A and B are shown apart, each in its own frame.
Chain A
Amino acid sequence: MTVAIEKPEKTKAVEPAAPAKGARKVSRPMMIGAILVVWLVLFAVLRGKQTLPLAAADLTDLHRRINDFNDSIGANRNSNPLFLYFFNEIRLVIDNLVTFIQHLISQPSGARPVPQVGWLGVVGIAGYVSWAVGNWRVALLAVAGFTFFGLQGLWQESMDTLALTLSAVFVALLFAIPLGVWAGLSDRFNRIMTPFLDFMQTMPTFVYLAPLTLFFLIGGASATIATVIYAAPPTIRITAHAIRNVSKTTVEAADSLGATRRQSLLKVLLPMSKRTVVMGVNQTIMAALAMVTIAALINAPGLGANVIQALQSLDVGTAFNAGLAIVVMAIVLDRVTTAASAREENARRSKNTFVQWRRPLLGAGAVVTAVLIYLSHTYLWAADFPGDGTIGSHIASAADTATNWAQDNLSGLTNAIRDAITNGLLNPFQTLLTDSPWWLVGVVLVALGVVFGGWKAGVTTAVCVGLLVGTGVWSDGMTTLASTLVATVLVMVLGIVFGVWMGRSVLVDRLIRPTLDAAQVMPPFVYLVPFLALFGATRFTAIVAAIVYGAPVTMKIIADGIRAVPETTVEAATSAGCNTWQIITKVQLPMSRSALTLATNQGLIYVLSMVVVGGLVGAGALGYDVVAGFSQGQLYGKGLAAGLAIVLLGVMFDRITQAAARRASA
C-alpha cells in the first residue's frame, strides 16, 4: 500500500518523454535476444573468472573503514558537542512527545496505575474523530476495530503501537508537508529531493537501526525516528504532486487578482490540494505501521514486541494474533483517512439538511466523548479493558491449527513446487549471474537498460553497476538479483491473472481486495514460521514471502489499468465477434500497457524491500549481510555496504522500468 498510489502520479510529473527514436532499424525484442545470446556465449567461455566473491566473514577495506567510523562515534558520544547540543536535544523533544502520548493512552503515569484515558475514552475518541472527519460508517468501523483489540487481550500493546504511530506520523508531517510544498513549487528542489526520498524508502531499516540507537539511545525516540525516516517520503512526494497539479489557470486567476505569493499558497494552492495531501498522510500512516515489528528490535513497545517474542519460540498463533491487531489498526486508519479525504466532496453532494444538523450533532458528540473520557479517567471498569482476551486465545489456537494442517498436508506439494522452480529457473539464472565475470554482467545490464529505457537509463545503470562493484558485495548482489527477478516474474504472472480477473469483475475485486490489504500490512515475521515449515530454509521461502508482499500491489495496479480501458472499445471488440480470451489478450492487456510496466516497477521495488526478511529464512546474500551487520559489530560496515547495494539495485530497476513505462505510454 505504501507507494502504490504515488508512483503513477510521479511518472506523469516528470518532464515529457525524450523524443521517440525516429529511425529504429532493429526491433527491441531482437536486440534483447542478441544481447542474451552474446552473454550466453561469453559465459560459456569465461565462466568462473573475475566473479568478485566474498565469503560470509570476509571484509573489504571499505567495510573496515565504516566500522572504524562507527566505533569512533560511539566512543566520543559523551564529549562531542554535536551530540550534546544537537542529537540529544532532538532525542529529548521526541522522547517527551512519545512519553506524553503513552501516558495519555497506553502506559500508567505518575501514581496512577492506568493511563490518563482508559479504553472507553479511547474508543469514544476514535469513534467521534472518525465521524467528524469522515462519516458514520467509518466511525462504526473504528469503534468496532478498537474494541476488537481489547477482546484480543491486546489493549495495552495496541495503544503503545498507536502512540508510537501517532507520534511518528505527527513528526513526519511536521517536516514532510513543508518540504512537499517546497518541492511542489520548485522543480530544482524536487530534483534534489527525489534521490534522497528513494534512498530513504529503499534502504533497509536494519541498516540504520543500530546507528540510530547510537545517536538517539534505545527505545521510543529511536523507534520514532526510524519510523519517520521510512514513513515521511510518501507525504513529501504526494504533497509535491498535489501542489504541482493545481490547475495553472486558477493560480493565474489569483495572481491577476493581485494575490501575493503567500496568499496564493495559503488560499489557493493548499486548499485545492488538500484532498490529495490527505492521501499522502494515509500512505505515511500505513508505512509507519509497517515499521512496528522492526522497531521492536530496539525495544519499541507494542504489538511488534509480541510478534518478535512469539517468533522466538515458533509460536505462530500468538504472533498471528498480534499481527491481526496490526492489520485491523491499519485498516481502520486507512479507511478513516480515505473517508476524510473524500468527506467535503461527499458532503457537498448530499442534501442540505446534513449541513444544517452537522454543527449541533458535532457538539452533542463532543459532549458524549467528553463524558466517556471522564468515565475512563475515573472508573476502573472503563480504564482497564474488562475480560481476559479469550477471543485472542481462540484466534491463536485457530491459527495454530490451520498452520499445522497446512504443514502436515501440503509439504509434499510445496516441496515439489520449490524444487521445480529452484532447479528449473532460479539455479541456472543465478549461476549465469554469479559465475559470469562482473564486467560482462555489468555490460549486459547497461545494454538492457539502454534498450528498455533509453540512453539516460543506460547511464544510470552504468553508474549503479560501478557503485555496486565498489560496495565489495558484488557476488552477493548478483545472488540477490537472481532471486529478486525470479520473484518478480512470479509476481507478474499472479498479478496479470488476478489483476485481469479483478479488473473485469467488480464483485471479484470487492471480494479479493481486503485480502490484498491484509497481505500487505501483516508483518512478514508472522508468516515466516509456516513458510519455513512448508518450504524449508531456502531461497524459495524468501521468494514466497516476497510474493505475498509484492503481488497485491501489482494486482491492484493491473486491475485499475484494465478497468480504465474504455467501455466502448471493449464493446466494439465484442460486437466484432471477439471471445473473452481475445478481448483480454488483444484489447485489454495491450491497452493497459503502461499500467503493466508500472506494475512491474512496483512489483520489483516491493520484492526488493523484502530482501532483508529473506535473509532471515535462508536466502543468504545481501539480506543475510544486512542482518549480520545489525547483529555483529565487526560486520557493521559490510551490512551497510549490503544495504547500499540493495538501494542501488532498487534505483537501477526503478529508473529502467520508469523510462520504459514512459515509452510505453508515449
Chain B
Amino acid sequence: MARHWRAGAAGLAVLGLTLTACGGAKVGDSSSGSNNAGSSGKCGTFNLAVNPWVGYEADAAVVAYVAQHNLGCTVTKKNLKEEIAWQGFGTGEVDAVLENWGHADLTKKYISGQKTAVDAGQTGNKGIIGWYVPPWLAKAHPDILEWKNLNKYASKFKTSESGGKGQLLDGDPSYVTNDAALVKNLKLDFKVVYAGSETALIQAFRTAEKNKQWVIGYFYEPQWFLSEVPLKKVSLPTYTTGCDADAAKIACDYPVYNLNKIVSAKFAKSGSPAYNLVKNFNWTNDDQNTVAKYIAQDKMTDEAAAKKWVDANKDKVDAWLK
C-alpha cells in the first residue's frame, strides 16, 4: 500500500510545482535581471592572475572592477601561484600579473628567455621586506629594534623547534628571502625555522601579540595584517647597491622593492583597453592596505570592496583610464 501512497504523493508534488511555476519569471525574460549590459564591449576577455595573498587580491579586485564596469571587459580571474601564473603567459591563459616582487629567476626565464612576458611598469607600491616583532615587544624592549641587540635576547626567542637557539620564523617558500645567510653572516645566535605558509606566519604574530609571547620573524609591507597588528620592523645593516650581489655573503637589509606589473607579450600588443588600464594602474601602499582590509577584516566580497574604494577615489581611477 505504501507504494501507492508514494506514487500518489509524487504525482501531487509535480502538479503543485507546475501550478506554482506559472507565475515565475522565465530564463531569458528581459525582467530577469543579470543582463549585463555593455559586457560585450570591444575589450573582450581579460585573464587576470590572482596570486595567493590578500594585498594582491586587493589589486586584482580593483583592476577587475574597473575593467568590468568602465571598459566592459569580461574579466576571468585565475587563482594561481606566481610560478604557474608566469607559465600561463606563454600559453595565452594569463594576460597580466599585477604585483611582482623581484623574482629574478622568472624574469630571466620568461622575459629575457622565452620572451613571452613583458614588464608593464610599476604599481606604485613599495615592497618592504624585513624582520618584524610584535608591538608589545618593541614597546617593552625598544632596543630590540636594532639588530645588534638581537643576540642579547636570543634565548628569549627559543622554541621547541629552534634547537637551543633563538627562533627566526620564515614564511611561505615563495617569499624572497636571504634570512639563512643573514643569520650566519651577522653571527646571530638564531636558527631560521620555516613556518611554510603566510597563514602560519600571521597566526604566529597574532598569537604572540595577544599572549605577549616572544616572536621575531620575516614579514613584509604592504600587508593588511599590519592594520590589525602594527608589527615593528627591526633594522638590519643598511642596504647599499650591490651588497646583495653574492647570495651566500649577504649581510645587509633587503632593498625596497618597486613592485611592478608583468603582462604577456601578446596582451601588450593586442591593443585591448584592459592593457592600458594595467599599464596605468598605480596606487599607494595605503590604498592597497585599505582595500585589503575591507576584504580580510571587514569580510567584504572582492567586488564590494573594490566598489567602495573606486567610488571614493574617482580621480585616481580616471587617471588610469586616460
Contacts and interface: CB of A to CB of B under 8 A. Distances in A.
**Among A218, A378, A627, residue most surrounded by chain B Cβ atoms (within 10 Å):** A218
Contact of B27 (A378, A539, A615): A378
A617 B82 contact: no
A537 B204 CA distance: 7
Contacts of A120: 17
Interface residues of B, number: 72
A658 B174 CA distance: 39
A297 interface: yes
Interface string A610-641: 00000111111001100110111111000000
Nearest to A530: B203
Given A379-B26, A532-B200, A538-B161, A630 B83 contact: yes
A419 B161 CA distance: 10
Given A75-B113, A312-B52, A312-B53, A616 B84 contact: no
B87 A382 contact: no
A654 B17 CA distance: 56
Is the interface on chain A under 10, 10 to 19, 20 to 34, or 35 or more residues?
Answer: 35 or more
Contacts of B206: 314, 533
Contacts of A219: 78, 93
Contacts of B200: 528, 532, 537, 616-618
B260 to A, nearest CB: 18
A389 to B, nearest CB: 13
A299 B180 contact: no
A643 to B, nearest CB: 14
Given A296-B79, A633-B106, A628 B173 contact: yes
B160 A619 contact: no
Given A623-B196, A635-B173, A538 B159 contact: yes
Interface string A216-231: 0111000000000000
Given A218-B88, A219-B93, A615-B196, A309 B79 contact: yes
A507 interface: no
Contacts of B242: none
Interface in B35-83: 35, 52-54, 57, 78-83
A575 interface: no
Contacts of A630: 81, 83
Contacts of A620: 193-194, 196
B94 A627 contact: no
Contacts of B160: 418-419, 422-423, 427, 538-540
Interface in B71-109: 78-84, 87-88, 90-91, 93-94, 105-106, 109
A364 B84 contact: no
B11 interface: yes
Contacts of A218: 78, 80, 84, 87-88, 91, 93-94
A381 B29 CA distance: 13
Contact of B10 (A77, A299, A365): A365
A57 B17 CA distance: 64
A87 B312 CA distance: 48
Interface in A364-399: 364-365, 367-368, 371-372, 375, 377-383
Nearest to A310: B299
A312 B292 CA distance: 11
A210 B27 contact: no
Contacts, number: 210
B203 to A, nearest CB: 4
A533 B91 CA distance: 40
B22 to A, nearest CB: 9
Contacts of B296: 312-313, 315
B81 A297 contact: yes
B204 A536 contact: yes
A411 interface: yes
Contacts of A627: 173, 196-197
A357 interface: yes
Contact of B159 (A57, A381, A536): A536
B105 A632 contact: yes
B219 interface: no
A491 B159 CA distance: 25
A631 B199 contact: no
Given A75-B113, A379-B24, A418-B160, A618 B196 contact: yes
Interface in B148-203: 159-161, 169, 172-174, 180, 192-203
Given A75-B113, A378-B26, A532-B200, A537 B193 contact: yes
A353 interface: yes
A252 interface: no
A619 B88 CA distance: 31
Nearest to B296: A313
A634 B82 CA distance: 13
B3 A361 contact: yes
A616 B197 contact: yes
B79 A299 contact: yes
13 contacts: A71-B109, A74-B114, A113-B33, A309-B79, A312-B199, A361-B7, A364-B7, A368-B11, A375-B17, A539-B160, A628-B174, A631-B82, A631-B174
Given A217-B88, A313-B224, 9 more contacts: A56-B180, A112-B27, A217-B91, A309-B79, A313-B295, A368-B10, A371-B18, A379-B25, A630-B83
Closest 7 CB pairs of A and B: A628-B173, A313-B296, A631-B174, A537-B195, A379-B24, A532-B203, A422-B160
